[in-house]
Amino acid sequence: MMEKIQAWIEKHLVPVINKITSNFWFGIVADAVLFIVPFSMVSAIPSLWAILRRFVPVLPDI
């Protein structure tokens, strides 16, 4: 069963994905997203801390 799914993906999806990702502008956008994601994750930490602090008031305010 898994081999059939993998064969279908390789036959139908892989060529389409390869064509899309070979586009110059797609590469630029993908690189930009990969560059921004770590900063977004780090900047989300204080927000998550503030939400957690609402439920656990003994946590210090940062």
User: pLDDT tens for residues 39-58?
Assistant: 999 999 999 999 999 999 99
Q: What is the mean pLDDT of residues 36-40?
A: 95
> What mean pLDDT do residues 21-31 have?
91
CA 4 vs. chain centroid, Å, equals: 28
State the Cα–Cα distance between residues 18 and 31, nearest whole angstrom.
Answer: 16
The chain-wide mean pLDDT, for the chain, equals 93
pLDDT for 16 beyond 90: yes
